[in-house]
A and B are shown apart, each in its own frame.
Chain A
Amino acid sequence: MTDEADRLVAAALRDHARIPAPPRLHAKLARRYLAPRRSWLLASVSALGGAAVAAALVLLLVRPHAPAIDPANEAVGDHLRMLIGRGLGVEVSDMHQVKPWFAGKLDFVPPITFLGDDDFPLAGGDVAVFLGHKAAELVYHRRMHVISLFVFQADVPAGERTVQGFHVVMWNHDGFGFALVSDVSFDDLHALYARLQ
C-alpha cells in the first residue's frame, strides 16, 4: 500500500504546501516594478482639457494596480508563517504575562480577557502585521493543534471561510477586528470564539 501512501502524501503537498505571500509584499513589488496604468477615459478627458476632472481622475486611475487583499488569506498566511518557524515573541501560559509583553510594542491594548483553559490553553503571543496594521497575535492550543487569534484596529468582513484547509472566523467588536485561524474544526473555533466574548 506504499503507492497509495505516496499518492496521499503527494495530494497533501499539492493541497497544503503552498504558502501565499503577504499582501504587503505584492503591493511593494507592484509599486516598484509596474508602470502606472492609464485608462482610455483619462486620455480622453485630458485631450478635452478638463484639467480639474483629469486631476481628480489621476488620483483614481493612475495609481499602480495593487492586488486586492483577502483578509482570510492574510490570516492563513500569517498563521502558517508562525507555524513553520517564526515562533512566538513571548511563550507563556498566562494572559497576565502576555498582555504586559505587548506594552510598548502596540499602540493599543488587545481587548482579550480569556486566559486559556484546559480545552484551549494559552501558548503565548507575538506582534504581527495584519492588513497593514500592527496586530496582536495570541496563540492557543487545542489538543495537538495550534490556533492563532489576530486582533487589530481595522474592520474585517465578518464571517467564516476555509482557505487551504484552514478555517478562519472573523468578526468586529468595539472598533477592533478579530480573526481566528486554525486547522481545527469550525466547532472548536466556535467554542473558542464563545470564550472570547
Chain B
Amino acid sequence: MPLFSLRGRRPPLAVVPDTPARQPTLAEAALEHIDALYSLAVHLTGNASDAEDLVQTTFARALAGAAHFQEGSNVRAWLFRILRNGFIDLARRKKIVLEIPDDTLDVRPVEGAALEQLRFITASEVARAIASLPVEHRLVVLLEVEGFSEAEIADIAHCAPGTVKSRLSRAKAKLRVALQESK
C-alpha cells in the first residue's frame, strides 16, 4: 500500500504567464524615426521647410498605406524608402539636379598635418561637406550613417548593390577632399 495517494495530491502551482507587453502600433513604431528621417530630408533638400514637408508627407503616405506594410518587415527601411520616393517627386517639381556629374576627383594620400586636422572636424564642416555632394551621393552616405547595410541601401535607393558600393566609395572620397579643403 502506497504511503500516499497521487489522487489527493495538490497540483503544482500554475505558472501564471506575464501579461504580454502591448505591441507598439505601426504609428508609434514609425514616429520613433522622426529625427532620422528629418536629418536625411534636411540634407537632401537643403532647407528646413521642405524637409518638414517631406517628413510629414512621408508619414501621411506611410500610415495611409499601412495595409501594404508587411508585419515583421523593417519599418525603418520602409519609411526611408517612402521618404526617398517623396524626395524624387519633390526634386522633379523643384528641378533639383539628381544626376551625378561625371567629374574627376584628385584624391591624394592624407598625411602629417592634414591628417591631424581631420581629427578636429566640426559639425558645421560636416554639414557643408555633405551639402557639396550630389544628392544621390548624400543619400547613400547618410543611409550608411543610419546603419543600413549596402543591400538595404540598394533597396531604398532603387539601385543595384554594386552601384551602392561604388557611390559610397566615391562619395566618401569627395567628403574627405571637401573636409580637407575646409581646414
Contact = CB atoms under 8 A, between A and B. Distances in A.
| Interface of B, helix, strand, loop or mixed by DSSP | helix
B85 interface: no
Interface string B20-61: 000001011011001111110011001111001001100100
A84 B128 contact: yes
| Interface of A, helix, strand, loop or mixed by DSSP | helix
Contact of B48 (A10, A86, A146, A165): A86
Contacts of A80: 42, 123-124, 127
Q: Interface range on chain A: under 10, 10 to 19, 20 to 34, or 35 or more?
A: 35 or more
Nearest to A145: B124
B27 A33 contact: yes
A19 B52 CA distance: 12
Interface in A1-37: 1-2, 4-6, 8-10, 12-22, 25-26, 28-30, 32-35
24 contacts: A1-B115, A2-B110, A6-B172, A9-B121, A9-B172, A12-B179, A13-B175, A17-B130, A17-B141, A17-B142, A18-B39, A21-B34, A25-B55, A25-B56, A29-B59, A32-B59, A33-B30, A34-B31, A81-B47, A83-B128, A84-B46, A84-B131, A145-B122, A165-B123
Given A34-B28, A80-B42, A83-B127, 11 more contacts: A5-B110, A9-B118, A19-B127, A21-B52, A29-B59, A76-B123, A80-B123, A81-B42, A84-B42, A146-B124, A166-B123
